[in-house]
Chains A and B, each alone.
Chain A
Amino acid sequence: MSTLSERILGAEAGSYVDCPVDRAYVHDGTGVLTLEAYRAMQAEKIAKRERTYVLFDHIVPANNSVTAGLQRDLRAFAREKGLTFTDVGEGICHQVMAEGIALPGEIVVGADSHTCTLGAFGVFATGVGATDMAAIWADGGTWFRVPETIAISLSGSLREPAEAKDLALTYVGRLSMDGATYRAIEFVGEGVKSLSMDSRMTVSNLAVETGAKAGLFYADRTTCTYLREFGHRVEPQVPEECQYEQTLHLDLGEIVPVVAVPPRVDTVRPVEELAGLSIDQVFVGTCTNGRYEDLERFARLVLGRKVAVRTLVAPASRSVLARAAKTGILSWLLEAGCTILPPGCGPCLGAHLGVLGEGEVCLSTANRNFKNRMGVGGEIYLGSPATAAASALAGCLTVPGEGR
């Protein structure tokens, strides 16, 4: 009887396997080094051209001529080799792959640590480095050590104003920054049913912050319905009885709004304890919380009011932005005083667009609050879109649902 990782990788935990990969992707950041390593290998060809993706998202549009030059070369390579390529403005790699590309049961690798986001679809999805990726371009596969699995068993359902992000930060706080190193996490239990696909992606996204290799949900009816919108007919994955290394039980009904206090993602405190802390910037977006559900939640809370601090919103993809334009929530954001950034990573990695100044504090819906990540001397508190909305309106850290 196997865990989902064992089933997909076809071997028992602890064993080493050589596996073909179903899809492999890089972004403009890691793609540059991958290309260098690939050229150094002098491989004859890319093994699976159309299943090899180059997705621009990290510094888009380019911030200076050096970046632009690197992007020009990678773009030209992708086109020349016939790889699947998305340019500036299409969205964050993990989100693009989640919009009807990655499918349950597949093995997907990305040259980015948050590739684990796709675990939400019952995909064995994990991050690799650039040189590993170059070998995958050439071979169409790689080696894995089949991970042991920690189960996070969910019961009940989330109660407003708590969101999937609060659940994610809560389990990261419990497991700590290396609590799941070399392991996979599986999210199981009847509480899963109540989580939308957007929410599950938020939960899987944070798995790597505990050191995990993958963070998986079994594909169920919700997954199948979501993928049908993209024209895929897939079957649910039925869980088997299996041995987990450890099981963490969480009652969704007890989750409260929390933030991760810099500089550690596992220093997780109820927003209530820190309420009133002054902030300079709010950032809504990223592969954690830049999806439609997140933007809608945020927009509903700021509707008809004005934000008190500079507030940046970066939709995770073009389709998220298009949908926000169509449903009208985009104008709610604009009227509330938010600044809309192009689809992509935006300020998340501190390279351009919304970099923090010395001593500035940002409340971000992202997944990392390491020292100086968004700018030298800046501090990052991580929270949910609802916490971001309440705090943007008040100009200080605020429990969602209060101060209205």
Chain B
Amino acid sequence: MKVEGPALCLGPDIDTDVIIAGRYLRTKDRSVWAAHVFEDLDPSLAMRLPGTIIIAGKNFGCGSSREQAAIALKEAGVRCIIAPSFARIFFRNAVNIGLPVLECSCPCRDGEHVAVDLGGGTVLVGGRVFPTRPLSPRMQEILSAGGLVEYWRKRR
């Protein structure tokens, strides 16, 4: 699975409250989450997300187990998230809803071109290759099915 797009750079320890605030959780309308994603970090971010690859600092997605955080990013058009480390529930959630995530330390400048090869486990930023920690085989299968719901239905 390959993903490409311009980089959007964020700092470390981005928590799920900041990705999508508790006040927006009580709905099933996914467009609400996409509209308010990162609102408490920078309200202008939501508009800049479509088509991007987020390159963040360590411990991305820490805090609550709310799957709405991963859904909000996917709905807002984020193609992939790269960080040196993720909070484990967020990491599993992202894969389960079909949003690619990858552990990798790489430098970041906003807008720089990023190409990710999930199967091969490589990240190319501005022409330079960075090593990654590859996803487990099962996580790769879930991602290529499009998420856990689809994976589960296919496997049955």
**Interface pick from A129-137, A151-159, A251-259, A280-288:** A129-137
Across the interface, do B63 and A370 meet the contact criterion of CB distance under 8 Å? yes
In the complex, the chain A residue whose C-beta lies closest to that of B25 is: A29
Known: A178-B13, A181-B85, A211-B88. A36 touches B59 (CB 8 A): no
**Seed contacts A41-B153, A368-B64, A371-B40; 7 additional CB < 8 Å A-B pairs:** A16-B136, A129-B65, A134-B149, A177-B13, A182-B88, A368-B17, A373-B22
Number of contacting residues on B, CB 8 A?
38
In the complex, what residues of B have CB within 8 A of residue A66's CB? 26-27
**Is A33 an interface residue when CB atoms closer than 8 A count as contact?**
yes
Pairs A–B under 8 Å by Cβ, sample size 20:
A32-B28, A33-B68, A36-B28, A37-B148, A43-B152, A63-B26, A112-B65, A113-B89, A127-B89, A130-B67, A132-B93, A178-B85, A178-B87, A182-B88, A211-B62, A211-B87, A264-B13, A351-B22, A368-B64, A373-B17
**Is B58 an interface residue when CB atoms closer than 8 A count as contact?**
yes
> Which has the most chain A C-beta neighbours within 10 Å: B27, B152, B153?
B152
CA distance A49 to B73 in the complex (A): 33
In the complex, what residues of B have CB within 8 A of residue A70's CB? 26, 28
**Is B128 an interface residue when CB atoms closer than 8 A count as contact?**
no
In the complex, what residues of A have CB within 8 A of residue B125's CB? none
A contacts, CB < 8 Å to B: 16, 29-30, 32-33, 36-37, 40-43, 59, 63-64, 66-67, 70, 111-113, 127-132, 134-135, 138, 143, 145, 177-178, 181-182, 211, 213, 264, 349-351, 368, 370-373, 376
Across the interface, do A131 and B147 meet the contact criterion of CB distance under 8 Å? yes
**Is B35 an interface residue when CB atoms closer than 8 A count as contact?**
no
Across the interface, do B92 and A129 meet the contact criterion of CB distance under 8 Å? yes
CA distance A64 to B27 in the complex (A): 11
In the complex, what residues of B have CB within 8 A of residue A368's CB? 17, 63-64
In the complex, what residues of B have CB within 8 A of residue A67's CB? 26
In the complex, what residues of A have CB within 8 A of residue B147's CB? 131
In the complex, what residues of B have CB within 8 A of residue A43's CB? 152
Across the interface, do B25 and A351 meet the contact criterion of CB distance under 8 Å? yes
In the complex, what residues of A have CB within 8 A of residue B23's CB? 350-351
CA distance A178 to B64 in the complex (A): 14
In the complex, the chain A residue whose C-beta lies closest to that of B151 is: A135
Q: Nearest-CB distance from A110 to chain B (Å)?
A: 8
Across the interface, do A178 and B62 meet the contact criterion of CB distance under 8 Å? yes
**Is B132 an interface residue when CB atoms closer than 8 A count as contact?**
no
